Chain A
Amino acid sequence: MFEPVILAQILWTGVANSSYIVLLTVAFALTLKVLKLFNFAQAAVMATAFYAMFFAYGTLHLPPWLGIAFGLLAAGVVTAAVEIYGFRVLRRRRSSSLTVFIFTLVISELLAHVFALCFGTEPSTLFPSIVSPVRLIGGLAISDWDLGAVATTAVLLIFLVSFVRFTKSGQALIAVADNAELAELYGIDVKRSYMLTLLVACLFVVAGMYLYGTRSGVIPETSLDLLLSAVIATILGGIGNVYRAAGAAVFVALVQSFSILFIASRWQGVLTFAVLFVTILLFPEGLKLPKMRFFRLTPSVRPSMNAIASPAAAPSNEP
């Protein structure tokens, strides 16, 4: 059971399976970092992305790249609508964190009901077959899906790092994440930065749902379940740090993968929520690891959803 090849296989499968959770976690953590809110409406964007692609492939018979573009467009429209007609109004009203939370949860449920009405509640996959060709490399079974998933995740993470480090818009996101009021004084369009953040997060969401939808069946409520994994990883990584959250997503996936060596797979769900509960109680600031100074999106002090009303109110220890 503990032979190196088996452990290596579990490790690889865990890493590959973590890909879509990493993407969804980055989307969630990035929004939390810049907009200072726990965006459960991401589940609505996730469901929209999946069902738009499902419609594009199943009904319109579009090629894969065009289906992804269609999903991106639909998810982008929902993202923009949530920001313009939801978050901006709540921000203007200085709504409490509870109100924002209810809004994000309700909008996700609303779209889940809409998709249940349009597409039913049977599990659907993006393509009729979810079987992916497998090759043996060094005794490890590696599927094309695994390679595609890991490569997509790596490319998108590199894109995010490059975007944040080397573009003006990316730098603006850092400034807004640190102190929105000060950023505005320096001429940064905060509203635009918020929208841009949500759209970048949307890109990660579409990629994550494409990967998930080509691997597993999706029902309208799936997105909320998947999002909870992203929430767990975000908290475990230390709220406010996008890259550590991504690392935590891999960690959680590996814990789940390796747990099959010790406990029955049916307990994995309990384990996941136990990790969430214990993490929040014992490590509300996340697990402390050495700082990775390579990346610019380093953690500030923990943000609060209350800060949606006045993002500048969230203090920062960012240099």
Chain B
Amino acid sequence: MEYILNIVILVGLYVILSSSFNLIIGHGGLISIAHPIFYAIGAYCSALLSINFHVPPVLGILAGAVLAMLVSAAVALPSLRISGDYLLIASIGFQLGLLQLIEQLDFTGGPGGIGNIPGLIDGPQRSLVFAGIVTVIAVFVVLLIRALMNGDYGRAVRAMRDDELAFSMLGRRAMKIKLGIFAFGSGLAGLAGGLYAHYYQYVSPEQFGILQSSMILTMVVVGGMSSTLGPVIGAGLLVILPELIAFLNLPPSVMAPVQGILFTGLVLVFMFARPQGIIGASTKRRGGLAEAGQESGR
């Protein structure tokens, strides 16, 4: 039971992460893969506040989300002047640079990370209650993003993404929109980070590296970019499938690579066999991401 609850919690956290990432990359068209660093900022901020200042975990998690939002806005202001390939590489530089910094600082625990983080919930039903909380938050996040993207703001975001020049010519400020979705998406990642820290009670820099970027990116792509349900499906599939390998009782030195091979192999299969993602077709019908149509090989 504990094992299943763990998976439910992981799926919930990844739903928040992939949905918020989809907001930035799918809806906003901002090619940044630094999402895990905001996840890390939320996790570290919340953990450090709880350990060093005895801040209640709930407040710590909220503070982590706000800090992630503020840092992302501070980074976005200069970074979003550039776009495309450059933004992508800049985001990698920012993510890995900040992780290196976290690894070198003493108060963040260095490469070993931070342990003994106070739990959000204690007691025998801890996992069950936490799974419920994460599920509710994940559903709320998905519905919030759906509402946001189906409204006037969402239309403005899509217009900016599809033709920034035309959008600007209409007197709208593209930078404001970019900044808004970047900060909001990153804040949600920070929220997921805080939840992660207070459930697993341990964080280390290696959990937020380029592999994490790749995993979240894959969830969005496999599920279907710029659709609301795509990242949810992607997160569920890519958390559960590798876990099934665990039932083979392979030694750990074999298990991790096999899971990795399955995971990356699945991405490649989707990339070439169904590039629009699992539920990309509905996106296409609604006139969503043009790329879905382009890449379906029509």
Mark A residues whose CB is within 8 Å of B. Answer: 38, 89, 93-99, 101-103, 105-107, 109-110, 112-114, 116-117, 120-121, 224, 228, 231-232, 235, 266-267, 269-270, 272-274, 276-277, 280-281, 284, 304-306
Q: Which of A93, A99, A272, A306 contacts B84 (CB 8 A)?
A: A306
Q: Contact at A106–B104, with CB atoms within 8 Å?
A: no
- Chain B positions 218 through 234: 1 when the CB is less than 8 Å from some CB of chain A, otherwise 0: 10010000000000000
Q: Count of B residues near A, CB < 8 Å?
A: 45
Q: Contact at A304–B211, with CB atoms within 8 Å?
A: no
* Closest Cβ–Cβ distance, residue B283 to chain A (whole Å): 15
Q: Which of A117, A224, A235 contacts B254 (CB 8 A)?
A: A117
Q: Contact at A284–B82, with CB atoms within 8 Å?
A: yes
Residue of B nearest to A122 (CB): B253
Q: Which A residues touch B254, using CB under 8 A?
A: 117
A90–B81 Cα distance when bound, in Å, is 28
Q: Which of B31, B93, B257 contacts A280 (CB 8 A)?
A: B93
Interface residues of B in 60-83 (CB under 8 A from A): 78-79, 81-82
Interface residues of B in 81-108 (CB under 8 A from A): 81-82, 84-86, 88-90, 92-94, 96-97, 100-101, 103-104
Q: Contact at B291–A99, with CB atoms within 8 Å?
A: yes
Q: Which of A113, A284, A304 contacts B257 (CB 8 A)?
A: A113
A298–B79 Cα distance when bound, in Å, is 27
* Closest Cβ–Cβ distance, residue B214 to chain A (whole Å): 6
Task: Check: B294 CB closer than 8 A to any chain A CB.
Answer: yes
Report whether over half of chain A's contact residues are helix, strand or loop; otherwise say mixed.
Answer: helix
Report whether over half of chain B's contact residues are helix, strand or loop; otherwise say mixed.
Answer: helix
Task: Check: B191 CB closer than 8 A to any chain A CB.
Answer: no
Q: Contact at B101–A102, with CB atoms within 8 Å?
A: no
Q: Contact at A266–B214, with CB atoms within 8 Å?
A: no
Segment touching A, from B126-134, B135-143, B260-268: B260-268
Q: Contact at B90–A281, with CB atoms within 8 Å?
A: yes
A276–B96 Cα distance when bound, in Å, is 10
Q: Contact at A273–B100, with CB atoms within 8 Å?
A: yes
* Closest Cβ–Cβ distance, residue B109 to chain A (whole Å): 15
Q: Contact at B214–A270, with CB atoms within 8 Å?
A: no
Q: Contact at A270–B104, with CB atoms within 8 Å?
A: yes
* Closest Cβ–Cβ distance, residue B101 to chain A (whole Å): 5
Q: Contact at A110–B268, with CB atoms within 8 Å?
A: yes
Task: Check: B297 CB closer than 8 A to any chain A CB.
Answer: yes
* Closest Cβ–Cβ distance, residue B267 to chain A (whole Å): 5
A94–B292 Cα distance when bound, in Å, is 11
Q: Which A residues touch B100, using CB under 8 A?
A: 269-270, 273
Q: Contact at A235–B272, with CB atoms within 8 Å?
A: no
Q: Contact at A109–B211, with CB atoms within 8 Å?
A: yes
- Chain B positions 257 through 295: 1 when the CB is less than 8 Å from some CB of chain A, otherwise 0: 110110011011001100100000000000000010011
Assuming the contacts A106-B268, A277-B93, asked whether A99 and B31 have C-beta atoms less than 8 A apart, the reply is no
Q: Contact at A276–B97, with CB atoms within 8 Å?
A: yes
A266–B210 Cα distance when bound, in Å, is 20
Q: Contact at A97–B210, with CB atoms within 8 Å?
A: no
Q: Which B residues touch A277, using CB under 8 A?
A: 90, 93-94, 97
A177–B258 Cα distance when bound, in Å, is 39
Q: Which of B218, B261, B265 contacts A102 (CB 8 A)?
A: B218
Q: Contact at B93–A273, with CB atoms within 8 Å?
A: yes
Q: Contact at B96–A109, with CB atoms within 8 Å?
A: no
Q: Which A residues touch B265, using CB under 8 A?
A: 110
Q: Which A residues touch B9, using CB under 8 A?
A: none
Residue of A nearest to B96 (CB): A273
A99–B274 Cα distance when bound, in Å, is 12
Q: Which of A94, A106, A272, A276 contacts B271 (CB 8 A)?
A: A106
Q: Contact at A38–B89, with CB atoms within 8 Å?
A: yes
Q: Contact at A113–B261, with CB atoms within 8 Å?
A: yes
Assuming the contacts A97-B85, A228-B92, asked whether A102 and B264 have C-beta atoms less than 8 A apart, the reply is no
